[in-house]
Chains A and B, each alone.
Chain A
Amino acid sequence: MKHPSLFDKRNQLKASNNFDKQANAASGMSVDDECKLRFLELKAKRNYRFIIFKIEEKIQRVIVEKLGQPGESYDDFASSLPDNECRYAVYDFDFTTNENCQKSKIFFVAWAPDTSRIRSKMVYASSKDRFKRELDGIQVELQATDPSEMSIDICVD
């Protein structure tokens, strides 16, 4: 196994190189280290069911807003997303396959409700690509503008 810190560093380097090469209308928002750490905990230790991230425009950073405990449900997750503000979120989705096999997948949700301000939509959409690259190990990605777009059955299929 690779040494984690070295691995992280190399990844970071890769990300920053990419970033330099492809700057297509990206907002230039940076990502708080806390985001990466908590995501790693969700992925490796399964300490959290979900994490909600928000952009703090004043400090030009993506930060962790809320951590969901392993016992919390999908509904708890959905109700943690504000009605009129954008957020990013990851959700660790447990399910049973047709072969009766327990599995889990990590979902990335870009939450941009129609009622949120255009400025907020613009900030989140233009920072998403960069942010997502910081989180290594996302399996499914969803964009949602209202609760129906991220209802549980969409996640199932």
Chain B
Amino acid sequence: MEIDDADNSDKNSGSAPDSKSKSKRKLYVGSQDLGFRRDHMEVLSPLKDGIVVDWDMVENIWDHALRKCLLIDPKEHPMLLAEPCSNTQQQREKTAEIMFEKYQVPALFLAKNAVLTSFASGRATSLVVDCGGGSTTVAPVHDGYVLQKAVATSPIGGEFLTDCLLKSLEQKGISIKPRYAFKRKEIRAGEFQIMDLDFPNTTESYKLYSQRVIVGDIKECVCRAPDTPYDETSYSNIPMTPYELPDGQTIEIGADRFKIPDVLFNPSLVQTIPGMESFAEMTSSARGLPQMVIDSINKCDVDIRRELFSSILLSGGTASMQQLKERLEKDLLEESPQAARVKVLASGNATERRFSVWIGGSILASLGSFQQMWFSKSEFEEHGASYIQRKCP
């Protein structure tokens, strides 16, 4: 049995009506509860930059995953958790404590996301480029170990691109009406009437969440990485692509189709998107994807650089962006040393790309030979939580 880490779980939603104190808030978890609007309900995430900052929420998510979704008793199942490369020692120990003390799991293992992705592609050595929702991580894996010093991260992930697109659309006068804010009625066959609904007690964060759901879909449907760096003039005459919003309104998307994904390659583009100025500082320090790859490889030992260049693995939801793989390969070919054989690999199947970490973890945990590798409850009781560093380095 294995459960994905909080990373890929549904976002937590909690409502804090009149006080911010943790004891008084009521938490709703899961996509189903998120779809239902409540007065004063805020949408929160326990993660910041890929690291857990609110353990209370994480415990609620795990409760939900184990008891509501999987319907299992955690006492009966060993638990494999996938963790980001940047997880600190304290967080690993905290995880072990919660798992053994609260959930009473019989055994636990922590595996690194990048290692699981690498193994699932059949490679013990590779450079894993994980383009997720909240952030992007580039991690070199050598013989099954993450080379921590060479890991590169950036806060630009799928959600950031969604926000860019949302701002850019708003700036063009397109307002994205959240699904809860109107009612759509069929008055005659094929003819719809939209009735606006007013909920003054809806929080800003819930409104933004609902808009992101819609804009995220627009992004997935129409966006594709441009073949060459984006520039305003050559994309000004690009044909428009239509997209029908949930309220029936059809919008047309032109240059943004290419401009938004290019932010991954050139974060300074954000400065040209009105409304995103507040992120200018963040993006000026962020590096583009090809630069992150090259910097990360250059921090590794000279002997393994060649091998890393020839096995660059793409994973994560944002990696499914059309033409992303081709563009990354092209940019890297231009910037890498001549002797390197650059090869970017990604599973042809979008689901496999997105869930490579989960797939890897689920196979590992099911191997007969793996059963001797677990960090067991008796070991935890004998050596304490810090033993996790030894069992799962």
Contact = CB atoms under 8 A, between A and B. Distances in A.
Contact of A112 (B122, B307, B373): B122
Contact of A25 (B125, B144, B359): B144
Contacts of A128: 124, 143-144
A27 interface: yes
Contacts of B11: none
A123 B125 CA distance: 14
Interface in A67-106: 86
A23 to B, nearest CB: 6
Contacts of A110: 122-124
A79 B17 CA distance: 68
A125 B118 contact: yes
Interface residues of B, number: 36
B124 A25 contact: no
B119 A126 contact: yes
Nearest to A116: B122
Interface in B110-125: 111-112, 115-116, 118-125
A123 B143 CA distance: 14
Contacts of A60: 367-369
Contacts of A27: 364, 367, 369-370, 373
Given A23-B373, A57-B367, A129 B121 contact: no
B371 interface: yes
Contacts of A143: 122-125, 307, 311
A30 interface: yes
A21 interface: yes
Interface stretch (B211-219, B289-297, B385-393): B385-393
Interface of B: 109, 111-112, 115-116, 118-125, 143-145, 307, 310-311, 345, 352, 359-360, 363-364, 367-373, 390-393
